[in-house]
Structures are given as structure tokens and as C-alpha cells.
């Protein structure tokens, strides 16, 4: 049986009949990851105390209630944190965390191209959602402009001790794209500690943030436990277990 499998695998490399379905391959991939997402939701929904599933309509402002729940649940308002946000845009969520954490030694870093999406994302085209670097008057906040793939390794070199420290990390992933999210998770892996928090802003987008989450937790064998979700898991928070 094994010899037959190997034979036909090699044969179909030589006679690539699988290319017949190439026009619909991406739709098949979407169905695969969408079903993984559905199975994940039904496996985990009952174990999440703060969860609005199912809601017929999304309310973007529910994000702030999720943030507040996390802030209160983990006593983050007065605790020193290392906050990193990937996909800052106009800075609404960045400013929220900056204002709601009062520890003087906390550090906040926001990463963004500030020139819009670097590639197409659904109905959005490359360059959409561009914004100016937000104006803040808090010296704890810093912005790093450019592609994550170009800027993050330099950031790591300059802040390695801070990343390795036991300071509570709050990581906000809001870059939308699979490529950006997968890269950030893979680079953060060596610095994650139990108790660190990871927030996804578009978690239930099957071929982007969810796919990056699924591959990261599978390939790196990282246990991320869901602790809160709003908008039918569009925004979902995890703790490193």
C-alpha cells in the first residue's frame, strides 16, 4: 500500500492532474480553514466566561469592553506592562491602553507602515487604511514605522532585555493580514511567558488571523487559552498557558 501511495504521488508530480482544480484551489483552502474555525469556536465557546456568541450584529465599540474586561481580570491598570501593538492605524486602541495603564515604567510600542495595507485583504486593496502617525503626549509611547518584517528584528536587538524580562506582556495583533500576523507570532515566540496576553482584532477571519493562530499554536506547540471574545470571536483575547 505504501509503495502504491509513493508511486502515485511521484506520478502526479510528473503528470500534474491536480492542476485541473487550480482555479478553485483557494476556495477549497478557505473552506478548510473556515471549518477549522467553526470547530474551534464550538469546542471553546462554553469555556469562555466573557463571550457574546452568538450576536446577530457586530458592534465595533465592543472592543473597548473586551479591553476593560482584560484590564480588570488581570489587574493591569496599575501593573507594569510591555504593550506591543501591531497595526496601529489611527491609534484608538493604542491610546486606550496608554490611558488605562498608569504605571510609570510601562512601555508601549506601536508598529505600522502608516501607509496602508502592504497587500490586498479581502475587499480592501493595497494602500487602503493609511493613516498619520498618532499624536500622543505620553513619553511611555513609541511608534515604529515600516513593515514588521523590516523593523521588528531591529526592535528586538534594541530591546532584548525588556523582552526577556518578567514584565507582563500585552500583545495586540491588529494587522489583519495572515503574512503580518504569522511573522509577528513566530518572532515573539522566544519571548512569550506564561501569563502573557495576546489579543487578536480579526480572529474569525479564517484565511488570515485565524490561520496564523492555528499554524502558530500547532507548529510551535504553544498553548494559548481563550479568555474573552466579542463580536462572534472577531475580537478574541488569549493568555499564554
At 11-50, the pLDDT tens digits run 778 888 888 888 898 899 999 999 999 999 999 999 999 9
Between 234 and 17, the higher pLDDT residue: 234
- Lowest mean pLDDT: which of 15-19, 137-141, 202-206, 219-223? 15-19
Judge whether residue 127 has pLDDT over 80: no
73 vs 69, 107, 226, CA distance in Å? 6, 20, 13
Was domain 55-240 assigned CATH 3.40.50.150?
Answer: yes
Instruction: Give residue-wise pLDDT tens across range 63-99.
Output: 999 999 999 999 999 999 999 999 999 999 999 999 9
User: pTM (2 decimals)?
Assistant: 0.93
Q: Helix or strand or coil: residue 119?
A: coil
Query: How far apart (Å, rounded) are the C-alpha atoms in residues 186 and 220?
Result: 8
Query: How far apart (Å, rounded) are the C-alpha atoms in residues 98 and 101?
Result: 6
Q: Residue 125 has what pLDDT?
A: 86
Give the sheet arrangement for strand 235-240, strand by strand: 50-51, 224-230, 235-240, 197-200, 168-173, 81-86, 107-112, 141-145
Q: Is 102 exposed, middle or buried (0-12, 13-18, 19+ CB in 10 A)?
A: exposed
pLDDT band at 124 (very low <50, low <70, confident <90, very high): confident
Among 234, 205, 184, smallest CA distance to 55 is for: 234
Strands 50-51 and 197-200: unpaired
205 vs 38, 86, 178, 230, CA distance in Å? 11, 17, 9, 14
Amino acid at each position: 500500500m505504501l509503495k502504491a501511495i509513493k508511486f502515485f504521488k511521484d506520478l502526479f508530480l510528473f503528470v500534474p492532474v491536480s492542476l485541473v482544480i487550480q482555479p478553485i484551489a483557494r476556495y477549497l483552502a478557505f473552506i478548510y480553514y473556515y471549518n477549522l474555525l467553526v470547530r474551534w469556536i464550538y469546542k471553546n465557546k462554553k469555556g469562555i466566561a466573557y463571550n457574546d456568541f452568538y450576536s446577530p450584529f457586530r458592534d465595533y465599540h465592543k472592543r473597548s469592553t473586551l479591553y476593560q474586561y482584560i484590564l480588570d481580570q488581570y489587574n493591569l491598570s496599575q501593573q507594569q506592562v510591555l504593550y506591543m501593538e501591531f497595526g496601529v492605524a489611527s491609534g484608538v486602541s493604542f491610546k486606550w491602553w496608554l490611558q488605562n495603564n498608569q504605571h510609570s515604567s510601562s512601555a508601549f510600542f506601536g508598529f505600522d507602515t502608516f501607509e496602508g495595507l502592504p497587500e490586498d485583504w479581502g475587499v480592501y486593496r493595497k494602500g487602503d487604511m493609511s493613516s498619520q502617525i498618532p499624536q500622543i503626549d505620553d513619553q511611555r509611547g513609541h511608534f515604529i514605522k515600516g513593515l514588521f518584517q523590516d523593523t521588528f528584528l531591529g526592535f528586538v536587538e534594541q530591546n532584548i532585555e525588556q523582552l526577556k524580562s518578567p514584565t507582563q506582556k500585552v500583545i495586540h495583533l491588529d494587522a489583519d493580514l495572515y503574512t503580518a500576523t504569522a511573522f509577528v507570532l513566530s518572532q515573539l515566540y522566544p519571548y512569550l511567558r506564561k501569563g502573557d496576553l495576546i489579543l487578536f482584532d480579526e480572529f474569525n477571519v479564517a484565511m488570515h488571523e485565524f490561520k496564523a493562530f492555528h499554524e502558530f499554536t500547532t507548529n510551535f506547540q504553544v498553548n494559548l487559552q481563550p479568555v474573552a471574545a466579542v463580536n462572534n470571536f472577531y475580537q478574541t483575547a488569549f493568555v499564554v498557558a
